[in-house]
Amino acid sequence: MGRLVWIQRCSALAADGSAGMAVAVTQISTAAAALSWMFTEWIVYRRPSILGIASGAVAGLVAITPAAGVASPMGALGLGAISGLVCFFSATWLKHRLGYDDSLDVFGVHAVSGILGALLTGVVASPILGGVGFANGITTLGAQVVVQLIGVGATVCYAGVVTFIILELVDAMVGLRVSEQEEKVGLDVATHNERAYNLMKS
């Protein structure tokens, strides 16, 4: 019951100070992650990019989502900075290291920052960082992080199993991949028959 109260407190359910703080920390985390990604990209590749800044902003938005109702501005600043840095390396280095197919960096940005944000919600909720405190019945930072870890583990397992089932069904019905030739030509042409003259005619 105590955890339910904490969840309800994380959702303001009113246009009050809690809702205003949620808006503020969301902006702070987003900006911090965008800057973190930009400076990291600047150091690694000697130049930042618009795509990198936008990806960092998305990482910051995803990371702060579970913590928006419990974080302080200082906690949001740290969470955003960490998420931008971690997601930069997960979307660039980790993807190539593991060799998985993720052209839009959905895993590297959304999944990684979502997991990171959910785990660090237990940290930024700490009163030491200006957070609103832990769930009722939880008195230590470690205990709250363990609760967050259990939630992340359950979510990852559920999403993994259900996604695997859906992908197997799609593969059996229509297939998941196109041919190598279709990839070279481009799906706009090979699958959708979209060409410049068709667009000009319309």
CATH number at residue 95: 1.10.3430.10
Residue 195 lies in a domain: no
Residue 159 lies in a domain: yes
pLDDT score at 165: 97
Check pLDDT > 60 for residue 43: yes
Give me the helix-helix angle, 17-45 and 50-64, nearest 10°. Answer: 140
Q: Which residue segment(s) compose the domain that 99 sits in? A: 2-177
Residue 186 lies in a domain: no
Query: Which of these, 28, 19, 132, lies nearest to 80 by C-alpha position?
Result: 28
CA atoms within 13 A on the CB side of 59: 35
pLDDT in tens, 81-103: 999 999 999 999 988 888 887 87
Angstrom distance (rounded) from CA 32 to CA 28: 6
pTM above 0.75, yes or no: yes
